[in-house]
Amino acid sequence: MSGGTREGEEREPGHAFETVAAVADLAEGSLLGVRTSAGEEICLFNFRGRVGAVHNVCTHAEFPLSDGTLLKDGTIECVWHGAQYSCLTGEVRRGPAIEPVAVYDVRVEDEKVKVRRRMP
């Protein structure tokens, strides 16, 4: 799949927004595991209608966060050992994880979810 670069879209290699899902695939309160063309594992979420994304690898023992649960307060809970992260900031809310999970920039355009790695 390829295509031209839309006007105003970032052209920096490896740092452009990339379509990874349709908004329709992400019901409110749900998590969805997707992968970028570069193979990055992404966990999309729909928290009260706000679509966002974090790295889909629990920092405790690398279980996919998308197999877990999005709690009502925006906490993503890993299904394996119960670590919890804020979906919006990636910070740890409950161990055993210690390190935060990376957060991605997200755009919703034309009913599509686009992500890119957040610059430090």
Q: Which is nearer to ligand FES, 42 or 78 (CB)?
A: 78
Nearest distance from C-beta of residue 76 to ligand FES, angstroms: 10
Q: Which is nearer to ligand FES, 32 or 113 (CB)?
A: 32
E strand spans, 37-110: 41-47, 50-55, 69-70, 75-77, 84-86, 92-94, 103-109
Tell which residue, 42, 31, 33, has the closest CA to residue 77: 31
The residue within the footprint of ligand FES, chosen from 50, 81, 94, 107 (CB under 6 A), is: 81
Q: How many residues does the chain have?
A: 120
Compute the distance between CA of residue 83 and CA of residue 34 in angstroms, rounded to an integer: 21
The residue within the footprint of ligand FES, chosen from 78, 103, 106, 113 (CB under 6 A), is: 78
Q: Which is nearer to ligand FES, 14 or 82 (CB)?
A: 82
- Would you call 112 helix, strand, or coil by DSSP? strand
Sign for the CA dihedral angle at 46, 47, 53, 56 comes to negative
Site string for ligand FES, 42-61 (x = CB under 6 A): ----------------x-xx
63: contact with ligand FES by CB under 6 A? yes
Write out the residues near ligand FES by the rule CB under 6 A. Answer: 58, 60-61, 63, 78, 80-83, 96-97
